[in-house]
Structure 1
Amino acid sequence: METSPFSSFYNINNISSSALEERRKLLESIRREAAAGGSLRKFAFGNTTTPTFQTIYALAQCTPDISEQKCSECLTGAFGVFGKYFYGSEGGLVDQPSCFFRFEVYPFYDPTTVTQLPSPPPITPPIHSPPPSTNTTNTSQGSKSSKSRTVIIIVVPIIASLVLVMFMGICLRVRKAKKKLRSNLIPGQDADEIGSAESLQFNFDTIRIATDDFSEANKLGQGGFGSVYKGRFFNGEEIAVKRLSVNSGQGDLEFKNEVLLVAKLQHRNLVRLLGFCLEGVERLLIYEFVPNASLDHIIFDPIKRAQLDWDRRYKIIVGITRGLIYLHEDSRLRIIHRDLKASNILIDEEMTPKISDFGMAKLFGVDQTQGNTSRIVGTYGYMAPEYAMHGHFSVKSDVYSFGVLVLEIVSGQKNNSFRHGENMEDLLSYAWKCWKEGTASNLIDPALTNGSRNEIMRCIHIGLLCVQENIADRLTMNAIVLMLNSYSVTLPVPSQPAFFRDSNVGSDMTLGWKNSSEVITTESDRSKSSSIKAHDVSLITEVYPR
């Protein structure tokens, strides 16, 4: 059995949603019938009437040399191609070396002929030259036959030439369109990478049908750049679709950036990009569906956080560490995430963390270690001070965010949600005071009734080493992995965290529950480098289970 290369074509009109199930049943029926064919042919056709009284016709066949099972597998794969690219179309076909199927809303075959095996060619009698004749009628007929032969000899090459020219024109036009898409989508990439990215492009109608026309029932969350929807493909595969806002001024930029980055990233601790869609004003990103929501919907919920014992929290910390090492060191290019936070850590069914949302990420060359920007984007409380105030970012900016995230996982509290009477203090200030006074255990989430206290305290220590004000003093992700895996490594004494605010609140302060995290962005210059304005601009700032 061979499934490649394959070609596919589809009708640009869409079928009604009520007809989809009837068509699916028809295709499954002819698939089974074709696969069950004998050694002379594996072929089936049929039609069905939809609830809207529309008739759908379909035909499927395999080469007779393959087995019934292989025929079934081949047609199932062809159905998968159609489900990915033109599921909602009125008609379409997929042609593979070992199988073929087509469906339309009009009869495209003659049932009286397709049911019959082709007849063997007739036996041709020997050809004898007729004797010369003086009959004028025969002479006239011969003359006409000669003229017809001459016309055919002249016309056929002309038509063939025209067809060839038209075919070459179409090929050039398609190549030009692909070149334009390549330059617009991922400039500066080589041809192989561009072709790989193009192969991820989905048909818009396929995604529209998979999400039930982006219905509210399938909506998972709303962010500054758009909404996220749950969807299901024809083959049952679940997906999460990020639909960028049409009126989002930054949408196209973030969209192209995320496609450029995520399409090349493959790691178990990074969310997997399945594809994208560019059609008109629509910008869609299609991701794997992660069922257990984002970390913030678990760790900051007073009831759900009880599900996370220390072993699971430690597994999440280690997983995030490995994902960041891949971004910083092991991927083809060094990538700075710039928006690492609890809502951008998705949790799968095995409680494995997956870093998501690369719309604000920056791509570095292998030898590049830092950069500057006048466009500050990110979430207040997770942003390193050198980035928030001056636009300087590096791998140490992500390390800072990671340190805040570790302290949140240990405490079960948001980074700026501490309240005690009239006083309020952020997580870093509280953690630092507890550390100085030798009461760091006060930071531990009361819901953690088991687990190694030494391991928990070591994570608090590592978190404080990540958020130090001096950039050079912060750990690297490689050093963090070593410290998490080996107790023989001595941890240095941390210095005062960045953004530490002195307060008269004592270390016996209780932990409150108040959400005051803000997503911020600013266009800053040298004279306004410390001015930050609050806005909700994260690509997905609030994510529900997906």
Structure 2
Amino acid sequence: MSLQTVVSLLPPLAKTPTKFTLSGFAEGTLLLINVIGASIPPCISSCPNQKEAISWGVGAPCIARYADRLIFGVLELEPTDAGYNTGDVPSAVNLTQFDLVWESLMDSVVKKASMGSSTLKYATGEADAATFLKIYALMQCTPDLSQENCDLCLRQSAIYYQGCCHGKQGGYVQKPNCLFRWDLYPFYVANASTSATAPSLSPPLSPASPSPPSSTNTTITKEDGGISSQTITVIVVPIVIFIVAVAIIAVALLLKRRKKTRQQDVNNNDSSKEYSLQFVFDVVRVATDNFSDVNKLGQGGFGSVYKGKLHNGQDIAVKRLSQNSGQGEQEFKNEVQLIAKLEHRNLAWKNWNAGTALEIIDPILRDGSRSEMMRCIQLGLLCIQENIAYRPTMGSVVLRLSSFSISLPVPSRPAYLNMHSTSESGTESGSYIYESDQSKCKTSEVSVNEASFSEFYPR
């Protein structure tokens, strides 16, 4: 078939050569008249009287195209025709390793084809994906394209295929200026001058025993010679994970060390406090007048409690364990240390003013409602106010404990115990006198040692 015959096949509007541009190529050649001539009639029959048409041919890769405008040297990425083999990549093949080989082969073939001459931009290539499994690829651009545009057209074709047909065992993508095809069997005649160098990757994996790819031996380079983002990720991610792990371990060790140091400080303080609370037995015996019954404050299940006075005038209370006491040495020390912390006779009032009232609550009980605890402490302080008239009645206390809608007043200063022992002879007697806001006097019995008192009349 001659070129004149091919031109005669164009639609009527293209009879004048100056109106239309005819472009085409077949596998490995600038213009293969017979192939292009066979491709034009289907275009005319499908698109009669059209000013522009394109045909990618049937069988051998080719492009036949005509238009009533300039199309030489102009890159056009649409329209796109694509297809794929319905079979999938064999399941015995490691798909991650397969993708690495595939991408590297496509990159090599793209470079080889785009670096062709002004009469031929065509390349083929093959690479081992696994034992007894090869990838074959063919790429071609219209020779009128520049190297840069041919490279771009072919790379866009490969990206298009990955988006539509990834995982299949073959396929093709065709655009107005380029075409690309790959498969797992040879479908072209290899030529040493147009064959791309096979990519050098880690040894192929056997289909019978696939294993994860060794990422440390694989480096994928971009067309400009730089390292790809995939390689950077493989390098950077383990480093970041290592640094984060080291930081977490360091923080954990630091917190553990601080906790241990704090606990040692607490133990040292407790030991020093325990030591400061120890007295020589003779000093205690003298202070209580040899545990005289006159100084006896009370009797408990573990022993008797005596009041005493040290040589410096400080009043003390001494608990002496009885022989029949069930309380051991450790329990006794714990009780002494707890009592030693109560350094103020109005401890609750002191913490209330400091805003630390919850400090008097046992730590085991602090998991409950803080508002309920504060309300109970406030009610307790209201019940021990110095002015009796300000103290709430029991009925009022019960009501306020059962209803949280009733607001509580701010407690005033608590009362101190002021004893006034009187008798006609001016000596100590068994009564005391106090005066209330109602200007009434009452007389009640008090204990001999003035340590406690009882009132027999309700308020």
Q: Could you say which TM-score interval applies, normalised by the shorter chain? A: under 0.3
The TM-score normalised by the length of structure 1 is: 0.22
Greater gyration radius: 2
The TM-score normalised by the length of structure 2 is: 0.25
Whose relative contact order is higher, 1 or 2, with alpha carbons under 8 Å and at least 6 apart? 1
